[in-house]
Amino acid sequence: MSDVKLLSTPVPPGGTIGILGGGQLGRMLAMAAARLGLKVHIYSDVADAPAFQVCDIHTVAPYEDDAALKKFTATCDAVTYEFENVPSKAASVLATIKPTNPNAKALAVAQDRFDEKSFVTSLGLKTAPFVAVNSPEDAVAAFAKIGGPAVLKTRRLGYDGKGQAKVKSADECKAAFASFKSVPSILEGFVAFGFEASIVAVRGADGQFAAYDPAENIHENHILARSIVPARLTAKQVDDTKTIAKKIAGALDYVGVLGVELFVQKDGTLLVNEIAPRVHNSGHWTIEACIVSQFENHIRAIAGWPLGSTERHSDAMMENLIGEQAADFKALAAKGGGLHLYGKSEIRAGRKMGHITYLKPRSN
């Protein structure tokens, strides 16, 4: 878009960063901005958003409220967001008023699973086999092509296992499509991988690129339970994960931190699973184990500052605190790790309430 605003000079200390979204990622971004002497204005449609507790200004309004978005953006020097499902219209409003990153292309690619995988394969990178499903007939034909078991997913929305179903036959695929109310979907071949990994990287407006060491991720009930660094990857695989992230970021003309989720097959092949155009849950360990965390590097990038070091000084294991796991704060505080509680007003099953990171001397 020719009318998109670009950052002409870095945002100086005392300037204001606007963040769309008030969850834990927005909260940790605000805390990182404060370390750099930057102010933060959080915009959320949730009245008790946890990021409101640590920011300078906040706005409560729907993401579809153009007037509120314009008023919010006018107070900021640069704008970013903490979640990828920002309504496209809202993103367009922001980008024409103040520099907004990551850009609209990154959002569009990440918001649609079929477009995302098509984009990734266009770069010569590998994914699981996939086919678009837009009708009951497509569901049957897609299963015939992919085979089973396979996973049917809605093309848009859905996270932490939502909006997806494992299918073992054409009839199950057709039924799953109907259960999704026939919204556009994608059938992905089931991948018998050795383990899951992710790479968190950052790219500046000047093209400068840096990446953190990849993490090995363990999921429970489709939710990330823990991330371990270093991962069980060879030196070449580590380099390959960083090459994958650099290729994706460059093709998107990306500014900020992005996460790339990967399947590591038993033969060592790396398959791209998803792109997250934002700071990533599997990168929370960087707060304790690196001098400059993913959150600070995201703020640096979108504010036009030089990127900070992504070097890891310690081995780390980050554990998410889900639901009732966060209830006994005294016991958690006594564990000896780096404890982060997100200030959410209500504990619910499956809800990310905090995380804790344990460090050991670096092994390699």
pLDDT digit string, tens, across residues 225-277: 999 999 999 999 999 999 999 999 999 999 999 999 999 999 999 999 999 99
- Closest by Cα among 280, 282, 251, 248 to 83: 280
* Per-residue pLDDT at 20: 97
- Closest by Cα among 256, 259, 343 to 296: 256
Instruction: Fill in the amino acid letter for 264.
Output: V
Place of tokens 């939502």: 162
H or E element, residue 237: helix 235-251
Q: pLDDT-derived band of residue 158, with 50, 70 and 90 as boundaries?
A: low
Say yes or no: do domains 16-100 and 129-189 share a fold: no
Phi (first) and psi of residue 253, to 5 degrees: 50, 50
pLDDT digit string, tens, across residues 288-337: 999 999 999 999 999 999 999 999 999 999 999 999 999 999 999 999 99
Domain 16-100 in CATH 3.90.226.10? The answer is: no
**Mean pLDDT value across the chain:** 95
Q: Is the dihedral of CA 268, 272, 274, 280 positive or negative?
A: positive
pLDDT digit string, tens, across residues 35-87: 999 999 999 999 999 999 999 999 999 999 999 999 999 999 999 999 988 88
Domain residues of the chain, as ranges?
A: 16-100, 129-189, 193-361
**CATH superfamily, with its number, for domain 129-189:** ATP-grasp fold, A domain (3.30.1490.20)
**pLDDT above 60: residue 279:** yes
Structural class in CATH, domain 193-361: alpha beta
